[in-house]
Chains A and B, each alone.
Chain A
Amino acid sequence: MSAEPVAVRPETPVALPKLPSTAVLSVRAFRCWLLMYQRTWRASVWSSVFGPLFYLGAMGYGLGSLVDKNGTASLGGVPYVVFVAPAVLAVQAMNSGLTNALFPVFGGMHWNKIYLAARATMLRPGDIFRGHLLFMTMRITMNSACFIVIMAAFGLIKSPWAVLLLPASALLGFAFATPSAAWAVTLDHDTQMNYPIRFGAVPLMLFSGTFFPVTQLPGWIRPLAYATPLWHGVALCRALSLGDLDAGAAAIHVGYLVALAALGLWWGGRTYRRRLYV
């Protein structure tokens, strides 16, 4: 052991190693969620499979049998179930984005405290945020893939463009997940999470051209529908599934969703830092 005095020189940090890139650190956070999912995935399988089946059965075939009797001209001439399936896919991606962001993020702060454990390590708030988003995106994509396979199995896909349904619905879910996570990390009470679902997701699902074309709404209310993220997601998914894709419109839909996702990423960077570095 050296008897030499070792002075601290704050301007030259000595023993501290270089930090890995933020991508590496984010993947480390992601892998933690992956390990937990390996323990709990069974419970989520049922909702991923039966959710779409129930929706398509009730709305598509049940309600659809009534709708189709009155003619389907306003639906673009396709059976109601073909019209509604890509929209239900979009709704499901939105819900997947919301639920995979809100509750686990709140839990990371208050229930299982994964965030609080992780922040004591090399991970920074931004790494924790992005790592969790990677996992949410994986779950959203898995749910969408499951839905699309079921759609295809029932013969509800009418266009080769439908191969893009997976990235489109994943983007939609991601665009809902980033601001939801950014907000959920700031919450102190779990009941607050009911508001975006009750007053956000439910009206969006009903009035975004999901179960009927927006043109059926009164003219003055239509711009409101066009302004919602779900309408853009529904329109994009429906165009891809039916094959009546307009490049300009698709660019606007994608641009809108990318902008919303980017806003959530920026916001979450701030809220995660503020909540984890107190």
Chain B
Amino acid sequence: MPEVLVRARGLTKRFGGFTAVDGINFDLFRGEAFGFLGPNGAGKSSTMRMLGCVSPPTGGELTILGGDPVRDGAQIRAHLGVVPQEDTLDSELSVRENLLVYGRYFGLPRKLISERTDQLLDFVQLTERADDQVDPLSGGMKRRLTIARSLINDPDILILDEPTTGLDPQARHVVWDRLFTLKQRGVTLILTTHYMDEAEQLCDRLVVMDHGTIAAEGTPRELIAQYSTAEVLELRFAPGTQEVAVEKIKDLSPERLEVTADRLLLYAADGDEFLARVHAAGIEPLTELVRRSTLEDVFLHLTGRTLID
């Protein structure tokens, strides 16, 4: 049984009358990548702030690295790396100086900071920008720098709050690649995201959050097996004809049918087989696609909504 680094039981966070996190339970084990998946406002960031020991829980129990985040917050933070949703880099300083300042906060000797800075900037592919100001860096570079900075104290747990939100697809892939490498090296990751592909690629285990509660928990594969079918048939129709098609398809009694604004999602063990039945019934979609189920389908099933509205 691997070492438990974080244990939450009935963890709750209220702001006045608003309950942001409503009694959630989870364990984080050393070496795993654990994800919180959910739409904006689901309580992911509030949970991350509690894990980062900068937000005292309103109720429940939370143990991080064996300590109490309220009593031992500073000591726990000494072993955490945090990549916040919004960059907190100092734009007046150079790339290298940002790591120096941060390393000094942890009381690391200059020599060690300098060695680690070289390694970390190499790791996030910013060596050539080491002495440049932070201000003109692109969004993706700043995010990579924030990741490098969060690793300066060689943390036991790396906490990432929406690490790729706001990045263009290319920059996002570079960040994913770096995070995946960290995971391969055995760094324990906690991350929040509202991107399915991010969760599927990076997370060993994840929870789906909605309205401050955990709607489901498991590995991506388990969640898909439990809450979705193996395959999904996506059909699009000419404007105005979708409603008629929906009625006809209901007669074919699919295992599950989701109607979104622009398409129908038909859940089936064998998508091609179902598509053949659709054709046989004389239904002519504009486009048709058979694909494997993803976490998006799980989320849609659990909450009746897509992740990014």
Chain A positions within 8 Å of B, measured between CB atoms, are 5-10, 12-20, 24-25, 28-29, 31-32, 35-36, 39-40, 112-114, 116-124, 276-278
Contact = CB atoms under 8 A, between A and B. Distances in A.
A118 B104 CA distance: 10
Given A122-B77, A124-B74, A276-B54, A13 B104 contact: no
Top 4 nearest A-B pairs by Cβ distance? A117-B88, A121-B105, A5-B1, A16-B75
Nearest to B133: A39
A28 B92 contact: no
A39 B79 contact: no
Interface of B: 1, 3-4, 7, 49, 52, 54-56, 61, 63, 65-68, 72-80, 82, 84, 86, 88-93, 97, 100-102, 104-107, 153, 156
Given A7-B4, A120-B84, A277 B104 contact: no
B106 A6 contact: no
Contacts of B97: 35
A29 B102 CA distance: 10
A158 to B, nearest CB: 43
Nearest to A33: B101
Contact of A10 (B3, B68, B80, B82): B68
B55 A278 contact: yes
B107 A20 contact: yes
A36 B73 CA distance: 27
A117 B7 contact: no
A112 B89 CA distance: 7
Most A CB contacts (10 A, CB to CB) among B74, B82, B89, B102 go to: B74
B206 to A, nearest CB: 21
A83 B62 CA distance: 63
B63 A123 contact: no
Contact of A15 (B63, B66, B68): B66
A276 B55 CA distance: 8
Given A28-B105, A40-B92, A120-B54, A16 B67 contact: yes
Contact of B77 (A5, A18, A112, A120): A120
B90 A8 contact: no
A35 B78 contact: no
Contact of A16 (B55, B65, B106): B65
Looking at chain A's contact residues, the main secondary structure is loop
Given A28-B107, A35-B97, A121 B102 contact: yes
B107 A32 contact: no
13 contacts: A5-B1, A6-B3, A8-B63, A16-B72, A16-B76, A17-B78, A19-B74, A24-B107, A112-B90, A112-B92, A120-B84, A122-B75, A277-B54
Most B CB contacts (10 A, CB to CB) among A16, A31, A276 go to: A16
Contacts of B68: 10, 13
A20 B107 CA distance: 9
Given A13-B72, A32-B104, A124-B73, A8 B4 contact: yes
A71 B3 CA distance: 85
Nearest to A120: B82
Nearest to A115: B88
B263 to A, nearest CB: 41
A270 to B, nearest CB: 15
Most B CB contacts (10 A, CB to CB) among A117, A120, A277 go to: A120
B105 A16 contact: no
A221 B3 CA distance: 71
A8 B102 CA distance: 29
B107 A117 contact: no
Nearest to A128: B105
Given A13-B67, A13-B75, A122 B92 contact: no
Contact of B107 (A5, A119, A122): A122
Contacts of B82: 120
Given A36-B93, A121-B77, A123-B74, A28 B104 contact: yes
Given A29-B105, A120-B84, 9 more contacts: A6-B1, A8-B4, A8-B63, A16-B79, A18-B75, A19-B75, A36-B90, A40-B92, A123-B105
A131 to B, nearest CB: 10
B65 A121 contact: no
A13 B88 contact: no
A8 to B, nearest CB: 5
Nearest to B94: A39
A148 B4 CA distance: 61
A198 B104 CA distance: 38
Given A19-B75, A118-B105, A14 B89 contact: no
A9 B66 contact: yes
B153 to A, nearest CB: 8
Contact of A117 (B63, B102, B106): B102
A277 B56 contact: yes
B4 A6 contact: yes
Contact of A278 (B54, B88, B90): B54
A124 B75 CA distance: 10
Contacts of B86: 113
A116 B66 contact: no
Contacts of B73: 124, 277
B105 A122 contact: yes
